[in-house]
Amino acid sequence: MEWNPETLQFLSQCFLRTLSPQPEPRRAAESSLSEAADRPNYGLAVLRLVAEPSVDEQIRQAAAVNFKNHLRTRWVPSNDLNAGPTFSPILDPEKDQIKTLIVSLMLSSSPRIQSQLSEALAVIGKHDFPKSWPTLLPELISNLQKAAQSSDYASINGILGTANSIFKKFRYQYKTNDLLLDLKYCLDNFAAPLLDIFLKTASLIDSTASSPGGGSPATLQPLFESQRLCCRIFYSLNFQELPEFFEDHMKEWMGEFRKYLTTNYPSLESSGDGLALVDQLRAAVCENISLYMEKNEEEFQGYLNDFASAVWSLLTNVSQSSSRDKLAVTAMKFLTTVSTSVHHTLFASEGVVPQICQSIVIPNVRLRDEDEELFEMNYIEFIRRDMEGSDLDTRRRIACELLKGIATNYKKQVTDIVSLQIQNLLSSFGTNPSANWKDKDCAIYLVVSLATKKAGGTLVSTDLVDVQSFFLSVIVPELQSQDVNGFPMLKAGALKFFTTFRGLIQKPVAFQLFPDLVRFLGAESNVVHSYAASCIEKLLLVKDEGGKARYTSADITPCVPVLMNNLFNSLKFPESEENQYIMKCILRVLAVADISSEIAGPCIAGLTSILNEVCKNPRNPIFNHYLFESVAILIRRACERDASLISAFEGSLFPSLQTILANDVTEFLPYAFQLLAQLVELNKPPISPSYMQIFVLLLSPDSWRRSSNVPALVRLLQAFLQKAPNEVNQEGRLNQVLGIFNMLVSSASSDEQGFYVLNTVIENLEYGVISPYMGNIWNVLFMRLQNNRTVKFQKSLVIFMSLFLIKHGATNLVDTMNAVQDNIFLVILEQFWIPNLKLITGAIELKLTAVASTRLICESPVLLDPAAARLWGKMLDSIVTLLSRPEQDRVEEEPEMPDIAENVGYTATFVKLYNAGKREEDPLTDVKDPKQFLVASLAKLSAHTPGRYPQIINENLEPANQAALLQLCGIYNCQIV
């Protein structure tokens, strides 16, 4: 794309139309830009448009956003075949020109365009800096020094913002030699200029703040933003380890840091966004000193007392406004880090812990208006923070973490103080429950948040209260309240307490409250009915000593009709239509209760009705997964118990599954195939025509194009091969099945799936049916063995050959292989079967391969030939290794790395249904013990030619295996003569 007036006109018009409120011109413009983006120099042309002062600012801003996104997809295009559309990459000459122009253009742009170009520059820097862009840092430093001379803070902050973006990688990438070399380069060049600008700005802030009136907010704002950016860069450059330059200049940095924590700037803090800006700088300082406390404690200890006292006094003065949350949280995190370090003695002085508790912890644990608003307006986010523990960045949780930190070394003191606080809060509630309900909420929150989990278990405990008596006196009255909608936050807290301490609440007490939990499913508050569902679900998971479930089907089956009715009804509340906590509870109840036909009917009707709704617009993957698991477990537990239900289930489910297939609902296809496999397996032959239509669809190559569908399609194909073997051999279907096997086995990412198909064919079809195809099957396998030999493939091949031998005999195995190439069987045996046999894992696979290998050396004329004595001995050596040594001694970690590009999309989108899983079937039910089978077979064989086999064993088995074989002969009273 050449840069000329026509290009300028075309791009300007397109970007103008992308801003149109009308969908038609907007879509047309987006389409034109998408086409143009494939042409060389498109990115450069858009960048030149951004630089064109004659073009309207809005158009240039839209162009800057497009430029940034263009770079994201094309600077280094993805190799992942499943990552969506692939884009033609930006070529090197265009990249070089973009890199030449972008810094100066960014610095001369307006703030909004500057922020877009800064992000674009960071995209390039992520891939090219510093090795492929050595001019970037010198250019940034040169511009920073020029801007500093003229105090041009628009440019200074643009440069610092860019540096902050490109240095962020030092925070999250693993420490490697390459990363440390990049870090050294950045430190050598940027550490000194960073300190210079930091100190210059600090001086400007001091002089401005000390002038009459404390300086204008307009003057101070860019200076504070500059210091914030300097602090973030400081964090990045110090994250991996303490650099020498920063250690040498620690005094300058720490002096300024402390000043920002202890000084007020009234003129700025009282203006619009001024307080937020000052707080952001203070929060960045707290993160820096926390970093030094964690990683450079020894060097930092001289400054610690001053900072601890500064942060402490700052916290006692930070208001409860949500706008100040970030500062409060980072400040408390710093004190938490100190409390668990060797410097915890700072908290030892008399009165310190009570003061922290009263001035910092309790005020931050109390409910605020913002919490109530979140509870009512966004229940999912409230639960995410409150119940799921992703609230480490909330004041409530971090205040409790601070208490836990102090309790590490001052447990009794903290326990006594907090226990007293809890009593006071409950007394306050008792004097006026409706006015002081937040005091009770605060007390419950403290007990729950300060509970400790026993290592390796789910049981939690607390020293703050006696759980049984607290539960009976404080929690039970809330749970037995007849008004499920009164004081919903208090009800939610009580349900959360019950859930947290479920293992400590005795069964008779808990079980008496079960009807109340079922009642709370009807609460209007989304949080309350979600917590009730979660509490029921977690109770059903409680296990007593010995791993026995505390609550059984006998306990809950009587109330299941009401329970399921309430669960389905709670999904009708506004915004709870896809409530994952309720669906998970449905799943758990169906897994535990006895599923009679009276329960199964309404449940499958309710689940398919929900399924039909979510098919229209799948939004919540967790809810959808629990939904499909619920259907799968209902099919498994109801239909296996009562086969007459199968046709009713098919009648309910088929329309939904057909909708998924017909409308190509991508997210649900793997689920649909797994459910269909379940239904096929429950059927008795002959298979009905409706299933045979699906079989035809299954054999179409189009169905297999999406790798995310493959495991589920294989599962369904296996079900058909098992239940309809006669139909497989009609209308050329077996050819199509083997075509699918061929396609799957040729790729390292799906070869295991290919073997699942092949093994099922071998297991379910007569030898006369498959023998005409065996030459082609061996050709495909040998070709793959020649071209891409992975450990996984070789193990799968050994399992396949073993299964073939067990089903169709050693003679057919040897003959079909040798028909492809003379004597290839012995080559495969020596090079692949013998060395890989000892790597087999899995109980059924181990038994199958051991028995097959035993039969091979005891029955196959090829191996009984005296000329094959060495191979016979080596094969026995491998069998003994497999049977006598533990898995960890014979199987090394596989060295090969899967092909990430091939696998990423597949693993990300295929989700296995646990309850629709294929049952492992043992093809050797008549053999109970493969070790006994081995020595009995050897004893019988050796009896025909006494004296021959002990010599072969002596010459070919490792001494350890000879000893193991002798031991096995003794155990099973068999003799090799």
pLDDT digits (tens, 9 = 90+) for 172-184: 888 899 999 999 9
Which are the contacts of 456, defined by CB distance < 8 A and separation ≥ 6?
none
Taking residues 660-688, what's their average pLDDT? Answer: 89
> What is the DSSP code string of 598-653?
HHHHHHHHHHHHHHHHHHHS---HHHHHHHHHHHHHHIIIIITT-TTHHHHHHHHH
Q: What is the dihedral of CA 276, 279, 284, 286, to 10 degrees?
A: -160
> What is the DSSP code string of 926-943?
T-S-HHHHHHHHHHHHHH
Q: Which of 354, 370, 366 has the alpha carbon at shortest distance from 445?
A: 366
Confidence class of residue 908 from pLDDT cuts 50, 70 and 90?
very low
- Among 136-145, 238-247, 471-480, 552-561, where is mean pLDDT lowest? 552-561
- 905 has a pLDDT exceeding 50: no
User: Which tokens is 683 given?
Assistant: 């059927």
Looking at residue 245, its pLDDT comes to 96
Q: What is the three-state SS of 86-98? A: CCCCCCHHHHHHH
Looking at residue 729, its pLDDT comes to 81
Looking at residue 897, its pLDDT comes to 33
Backbone angles phi, psi at 587, to 5 degrees: -60, -45
Taking residues 248-257, what's their average pLDDT? Answer: 97
Looking at residue 455, its pLDDT comes to 61
Taking residues 598-616, what's their average pLDDT? Answer: 93
- Residue 599 backbone zone (phi > 0: left; psi -120 to 50: alpha; other: beta): alpha
- Residue 456 backbone zone (phi > 0: left; psi -120 to 50: alpha; other: beta): left
Task: Report the alpha-carbon distance of residue 882 to residue 131 in Å, rounded.
Answer: 51
686 prior amide bond cis, ω within 30 = yes
Taking residues 145-151, what's their average pLDDT? Answer: 95
Q: Which helix (H) or strand (E) is 385 found in, with range?
A: helix 379-386
pLDDT digits (tens, 9 = 90+) for 871-893: 999 999 999 999 998 887 777 64
Looking at residue 903, its pLDDT comes to 31
Looking at residue 898, its pLDDT comes to 34
Looking at residue 2, its pLDDT comes to 87
508 prior amide bond cis, ω within 30 = no
Residue listed under structure tokens 């499943």: 82
**pTM confidence score:** 0.81
* Dihedral sign (CA 266, 197, 331, 283): positive
Q: Which of 798, 780, 794 has the alpha carbon at shortest distance from 744?
A: 780
Query: How do 452-453 and 460-461 pair as beta strands?
Result: antiparallel
Average pLDDT of the residues of the chain:
90
Radius of gyration of the chain (CA): 35
Give the single-character DSSP code of 461: E
Task: Report the alpha-carbon distance of residue 149 to residue 129 in Å, rounded.
Answer: 27
Give the single-character DSSP code of 973: T
pLDDT digits (tens, 9 = 90+) for 401-446: 999 999 999 999 999 999 999 999 999 999 999 999 999 999 999 9
Helix axes 791-808, 774-787, angle to 10 degrees: 160
pLDDT digits (tens, 9 = 90+) for 921-955: 888 889 899 999 999 999 999 999 898 999 999 99
Task: Report the alpha-carbon distance of residue 142 to residue 162 in Å, rounded.
Answer: 14
Backbone angles phi, psi at 351, to 5 degrees: 90, -10
- 824 has a pLDDT exceeding 50: yes
User: Which tokens is 613 given?
Assistant: 């709704």
Task: Report the alpha-carbon distance of residue 159 to residue 125 in Å, rounded.
Answer: 13
Taking residues 335-356, what's their average pLDDT? Answer: 90
Task: Report the alpha-carbon distance of residue 616 to residue 611 in Å, rounded.
Answer: 9
Residue listed under structure tokens 């390039």: 124
Per cent of the chain over pLDDT 90 is 70
**How many other C-beta atoms can be found within 10 angstroms of the C-beta atom of residue 925?**
7
Query: Is the model more confident about 547 or about 305?
Result: 305
Looking at residue 894, its pLDDT comes to 42
Query: Is the model more confident about 458 or about 216?
Result: 216
Confidence class of residue 390 from pLDDT cuts 50, 70 and 90?
low
Confidence class of residue 456 from pLDDT cuts 50, 70 and 90?
low
Length of the chain: 977
Looking at residue 895, its pLDDT comes to 39
Looking at residue 512, its pLDDT comes to 94
Task: Report the alpha-carbon distance of residue 548 to residue 571 in Å, rounded.
Answer: 32
